[in-house]
Amino acid sequence: MDTGTKIAAGLEEAFVIHGFAEPNVETLREAAGVSLRTLYKYTPSRDDMVLSALEYRHRRYMDHIFSDVPENGPVALGGIIDRIAGWMTQEAPQGCLFHAAVAAAPQDENLKELLSRHKTCVAERAAAVAGVEERSADILFIFEGLTQSWPLLGGASVESAHRLAKCLFIEANETLSSYA
């Protein structure tokens, strides 16, 4: 693992454990496992530290969700939903780290843009894999419902996401057959 990745991974872990407001620079430096000079070389400000951690998390999330997904419509989308549930169980039991970052700094336009880019990227990729590219907004809604309700509902949010995804395909098929 190169130094930049090591720093990003350590920062991600620190923000997951401590949130975005609590950890001081020494805590973040310790989590990154580098000297203060090296930390600031790679991430010159606290804002850069947050962005670096979230960019790293985005890459890990995309790998977790989309590695070896069967490219077969409803089966693919169901598999993605199950992988999101696995991520929530292991990596985000308290909810989405991207939303937490924006909540901690609601005026930060860079964080808002990163949140939007992350969520849009996930939804568009899932829609493409599932073969319903025109429904990426619906998929985004399903995924956001799953991740945002996870801390309250746990597995019940997964069941709801599966039901909504099924409705998406039923409606898509009805729309397609009405044009035939």
Q: Which domain CATH number covers 48?
A: 1.10.10.60
Q: Which amino acid makes up residue 145?
A: G
Q: List all residues 6 or more positions away from 178 whose beta carbon is below 8 Å from its beta carbon.
A: none
Give this prediction's pTM. 0.91
Per-residue model confidence as pLDDT tens digits over 103-152: 999 999 999 999 999 999 999 999 999 999 999 999 999 999 999 999 99
Exposure string of 58-86, with b = 16+ CB inside 10 Å and e = fewer, is beebeeebbeebeeeebebbbbbbebbbe
80 and 28 in one domain? no
99 and 63 in one domain? no
The boundaries of the domain holding residue 122 are 71-180
The last residue of one of the domains, among 67, 89, 104, is 67
77 and 52 in one domain? no
79 and 56 in one domain? no
Q: Which amino acid makes up residue 4?
A: G
Lookup: tokens for 10: 């350590």
Contact (CB, 8 A) for 51 and 110? yes
Per-residue model confidence as pLDDT tens digits over 35-89: 999 999 999 999 999 999 999 999 999 999 999 887 678 889 999 999 999 999 9
76 and 61 in one domain? no
**Domain tally, the chain:** 2
